[in-house]
Amino acid sequence: MILALAGGVGGARLARGLAAILPPDDLTIAVNTGDDFEHLGLLVCPDIDTVCYTLAGINNAAQGWGLAGESWAFMDALGKLGGESWFNLGDRDLATHVLRTGMIGRLALSEITALLAGRMGIAHRIVPMSDDRVRTMIDTDEGELPFQHYFVRRRAEPRFRAISFDGIETARPSTGLLDAIADPALEAVILCPSNPVLSITPILALPGVRTALAARGVPIVAVSPFIGGQAVKGPAAKIMGEIGLATTPPGLAAYYDGLLDGIVIDHVDAAADAGNTALHVTATLMRDLDDQRRLAAETIAFAQRLR
């Protein structure tokens, strides 16, 4: 049994690789919900949707977010009516947000996610990190901004000063996440190549999660989202730089502060030394399902060698 922690696009790609090689009962994908936000009265869960759409094979692979074959009539009409148009909601994507928003009082986010994932034909367990409301806030040189306002509306341009997770002190990890950690069959925890600060840290920051993972005694392996110091996608490298951490294997090991047993890194970074943290060198860029499968299989094999 593998527990994967995932956030945005890179995380979803590795999660798809894991799902392609593991039976449904042998994988739990716990997804960051710090990026969730209320927009136009709708509850939008970008990371859950990216993981679901990617596993269902209905994602827009070229764009990196949203659905393949998406259309934008809603956004066009919204703009003409003077509505907020800085966050793109495709016509098809809207169905997910409207359905979820309609259920959120009656059902927990875990239940809604399982329901929608099932309707998308996904057999594997995708669980939100928590059913409680956690909202990532970014302190910047323009003041504190809710995550999507920082990330999308302001295109991550303001200088990042600090991150916090509103609601995290009282949020409980979801049952699905706790069950996976406690599962006697758990063999490894994989930190997907998502943004460490924005996507993985909220999951680890949930009360008890980091401690429980460290105490569990199974290998914890991260797949680095950096290749030659650069993020494959998104502002991870810029943010790591603004925090003062190096986007290198030792930088990543230091950021996770002793949690990791190993890191999967790209050939470009083969010369790196991360001290006590074992390294596995391979091609980490995932361009297609074959790349995703191969990287997932290598990561599992690497973790098993670390037991």
Nearer Cβ to a copy of itself, position 42 or 145? 42
- CB of residue 110 vs a copy of itself: minimum separation in angstroms? 17
> Site residues (CB under 8 A) for a copy of itself?
40-42, 67, 70-71, 73-78, 80-83, 90-96, 98-99, 101-102, 116, 119-120
- CB of residue 148 vs a copy of itself: minimum separation in angstroms? 16
Q: Are 28 and 176 in contact (CB under 8 A)?
A: yes
Nearer Cβ to a copy of itself, position 116 or 274? 116
Q: How many CB atoms lie within 10 A of CB 267?
A: 12
Look up residue 119 and give its amino acid: R
- CB of residue 261 vs a copy of itself: minimum separation in angstroms? 39
d(CA 171, CA 213): 17
Nearer Cβ to a copy of itself, position 82 or 143? 82
Q: b/e string for 222-233 if b means 16 or more Cβ within 10 A? A: bbbbbbeeebbe
Nearer Cβ to a copy of itself, position 91 or 187? 91
Nearer Cβ to a copy of itself, position 93 or 298? 93
Look up residue 303 and give its amino acid: A
Alpha helices in 124-222 (DSSP H): 147-148, 175-182, 201-205, 209-216
- Sign of the four-CA dihedral 116, 182, 214, 205: positive
- CB of residue 53 vs a copy of itself: minimum separation in angstroms? 11
- CB of residue 252 vs a copy of itself: minimum separation in angstroms? 37
